[in-house]
Amino acid sequence: MKIDRLARVLFYALLAAAPLGTRYIGYMGNIGGVDIEPGTVSMFGTQIAAILLVILALLSVASQGGVSPGWKKDPFPLAALLIVASAYLSAALSVRFTSGLVEASWVALGAAVFCAVRMLKPSTTIAAMALVAGAIVQALLGAVQFVTQEAAANKWLGMAVHLPSDVGASVVGTAGGRWLRAYGTLSHPNDLGMYLAIAAVLALAFAAGQERWMRRLGMAAAIVCAFGLVLTFSRSAAIGFTAGLVTLAIPALICTGKWRPRLSPSLIAAAVGLVALIAASLALYEPVVSRVTADGRLERISIEERGSQIEDARSLLMRSPLLGVGPGMMPYAMHRVDPGRDPWDYQYVHNTPLLVAVETGLLGFMAW
């Protein structure tokens, strides 16, 4: 039981520390003599913690006489195993075997963590609290970055420097100049936006609870996360957060016999989240409008890049439909097809289902 508790505590800590980029880099990926992130072989601190989590989960299960009988009927571990098999098979045939093999190993680790969590059955409430706590730190750090218009470098947190004047930095262009988007400790504002959107919805779920202290903390946390979300200027994350608000509000809007919606904590929580999102957007009216309307040179370039990435993905999928180009190998596969671009122009497609299909083939996609 001590091992079981230790494994659960480690899982909660891993959720809170998930955005940290602390890592040891073995060697950088390289295209045309330029160091790039794709193909980089490294070990993150969170990956070490994840490996330890899997080991503790296995020890815990072994000490309790093995997995429960219902585990054999669970389809999810089988699907995870098929994804791992597809990743390794794709890596074996990829353009960079070593890098592809390392990426496939991280896919395997992700599947192992997934299975470990299903075996441990940690508290959903504590897990959500841990994730929200980590997100509050990220939201506050993002606010500092936006106010100072500088994401400072930190080797121990795995943070690179980002300035609005840097070519390639994630910015919003307006008539007043370039606005640096919040990164937190993550590698891109969209990643931070996704993380904060999930945390904000979880916080609002606490705000819809019965305990007064939990409602107050949940609303406060949701407001902080929602403001941080706006500072990332991530359109997809904002849409996801809005979908979460709708999901919270629908049960509360079920009408009574007199067609009057019930004013429940869920509805109040959703309203608080919506007000926080609108208030932060109004405070940053000019850059928010620029992102929403996609008006401006930088926004047009961003949309064109997304379109070209989808076309690249379609081209590679047509070439390797069954097994894909290898996990993490889309930029290198595209470089082989079209070697005339600048090294930094070879990007992953910004669409998770399509990226899974391109890199692990239709076999990996169906398992996913």
Q: What is the pLDDT of residue 194?
A: 94
| CB of 331 closer than 8 Å to CB of 38 | yes
In the chain (368 residues long), the average pLDDT of successive 10-residue segments reads 89 94 90 88 94 93 73 81 93 88 94 91 93 95 91 88 83 80 92 94 82 82 89 90 84 55 62 76 75 69 83 92 92 91 87 93 91
User: What pLDDT was estimated at residue 183?
Assistant: 93
3-state secondary structure at position 305: helix
Which pLDDT does position 261 carry in this prediction?
Answer: 47
Looking at residue 259, what is its pLDDT?
A: 44
Q: What is the pLDDT of residue 256?
A: 46
Among candidates 238, 229, 49, 57, which has minimal Cα distance to 132?
Answer: 229
Q: What is the DSSP string of 29-71?
A: EEETTEEEEEEEEEEEHHHHHHHHHHHHHHHHHHHTTSS-GGG
Rounded distance, CA 332 to CA 290, Å? 33
- Name the nearest CA neighbour of 26 among 39, 11, 7, 12: 39
At residue 253, the pLDDT reads 66
Look at residue 257 in the predicted model and tell me its pLDDT.
46
What is the per-residue pLDDT for 255? 54
| pLDDT score of 354 | 94
Give 96's Cβ-side CA count (13 Å radius).
Answer: 24
Q: What integer pLDDT is reported at residue 32 of this predicted model?
A: 85
Q: What are the residues whose beta carbons fall under 8 Å from the beta carbon of 151, sequence distance 6 or more?
A: 145, 159, 160, 161, 162, 163, 180, 182, 183
Distances (CA, A) of 168 to 25, 213, 311: 22, 44, 21
Domain boundaries, given as residue ranges, for the chain:
2-73+99-122, 125-293
